[in-house]
Structure 1
Amino acid sequence: MKTPKKMTLFLTFSCMLFAAAVFAQGDKANRPSPPAKATGKVGAANITIDYSSPSVKGRKIWGELVPYGKAWRAGANEATIFETSSAIKVEGKDLPAGKYSLFAIPGEKEWTIIFNSETGQWGVKKGGDANLDRAKDVLTVTVKPKKSAAANEKLAYVVDKSGFSLKWENVEVPVAVK
């Protein structure tokens, strides 16, 4: 039995579309919150922050999209990764060289920054809570947010000689590193 040419053409075209869709899923740059990286040097330590960068898109971020008092993956998609090549002091507390998931608990006047030893996980669990196992916390520090000098449409991290900052919407969260 012969397959009609139109059916063969249709099946071939359908398979090509399906294959293109599958490969497009693997391209993280096409996500609504694309991957981003911040790098810099603090003393002898090379610091890298790998994260996904969501946009404000007219939404109220702090206290609404990202609730106060609840652990947050400090970005979008997979949990944010913080890596340091040397031991450092974060807000005066020791953090060994290594790779950590970075989480935050935002507050209006104070934030908790969490360095966790579990890496590679998706940033949130099925119910929407941060995918954070608090038993694997290596370091937590408290910092003060401030109003940013300019609005930031996309979430961004900046690493400089004094530490790193998270900047998004109208908030900047500096974290001192030595």
Structure 2
Amino acid sequence: MKRLFLGVFSIICMLVANPINAQDKDTPNFAKLDASPMDLVLYRNQNDEAIARVIYSRPQKRDRDIFGKLVPYGEVWRTGANEATELTFYKDMQVADVTVEAGTYTLYTIPNEKEWTIILNKNTNTWGAYEYTDEDDMVRINVPVRQSPNTIEALSMAFEGTPDGTNLLIGWDDEYVKVPFKNVK
């Protein structure tokens, strides 16, 4: 009787711990949602022409201290999570005093307390900032840090149109920056 009880108990434990799902064989093995999901932001001008696009992963604040802690001041950052953030220009744009040709670039930043250095780098398809080298920098521009009136829970990016181009807004936690891109005349 004791063996029968242990046998039945073992079978019940296996069924509860490892349920049999006949559908599992036919169901694709989809990955669970990434903790820092990938996102895309696109800027179109008044004529509905695509001007710029950013692909990035969005880490979450989750009650953490972000700038100066999770993202150290003075160090090159991938500007997101996972793969390094990529910026594509669909037409030539002016960044600082440099004309940047249409194409795809990696967007790195160096956050500091009062300003960020924004870097467009020609080495693309990289993970994090591990392969970063300033030898591949196309342009660098410093922009002031602005205080957000509300906490930004997930790293966020957006474009805002300007009379002569667009600004890329990058915000997280309680701050954001504006990166100006001007139309090449």
Q: Fold-level match, TM-score > 0.5?
A: yes
- TM-score tier, shorter chain, comes to 0.7 to 0.9
> Are the counterparts in 1 of residues 84 and 125 from structure 2 also a CA contact under 8 Å?
yes
1:166 is matched with 170
Q: Offset of 1:110 from its aligned partner?
A: 1.4
> Are the counterparts in 1 of residues 76 and 129 from structure 2 also a CA contact under 8 Å?
no
Residue 145 (1) aligns with residue 150 (2): no
Q: Distance in 2 between matches of 1:17 and 1:65?
A: 39
TM-score norm. by structure 2 comes to: 0.76
Report Cα offsets for 1:150-169 as digits up to 9, x if no partner: 21001110012131110100
1:155 is matched with 155
CA RMSD for the aligned pairs? 2.7
> Are the counterparts in 1 of residues 60 and 154 from structure 2 also a CA contact under 8 Å?
yes
**Residues 77-156 of structure 1 correspond to what in structure 2 (within 5 A)?**
77-125=82-130, 131-156=131-156
Q: Distance in 1 between matches of 2:171 and 2:125?
A: 23
**Residues 65-76 of structure 1 correspond to what in structure 2 (within 5 A)?**
65-76=70-81
Unmatched 5+ residue regions in structure 2?
A: 1-10, 12-19
1:10 is matched with none
- What amino acid does structure 2 have at the position aligned with 1:63? G
Residue 56 (1) aligns with residue 61 (2): yes
Residue 24 (1) aligns with residue 27 (2): no
**Which has more radius of gyration?**
2
* Larger displacement relative to structure 2 (37-46 or 67-76): 37-46
Q: Distance in 2 between matches of 1:111 and 1:38?
A: 20
> Are the counterparts in 2 of residues 42 and 177 from structure 1 also a CA contact under 8 Å?
no
Using CA pairs under 8 Å that are at least 6 residues apart, name the structure with larger relative contact order, 1 or 2. 1
Q: Offset of 1:103 from its aligned partner?
A: 0.3
Unmatched 5+ residue regions in structure 1?
A: 1-5, 7-12, 126-130
Paired residues in the alignment total: 159
> Are the counterparts in 2 of residues 34 and 54 from structure 1 also a CA contact under 8 Å?
yes
Q: Offset of 1:93 from its aligned partner?
A: 2.9
- What amino acid does structure 2 have at the position aligned with 1:77? N
1:41 is matched with 44
- What amino acid does structure 2 have at the position aligned with 1:24? F
Identity of paired residues, percent?
Answer: 31
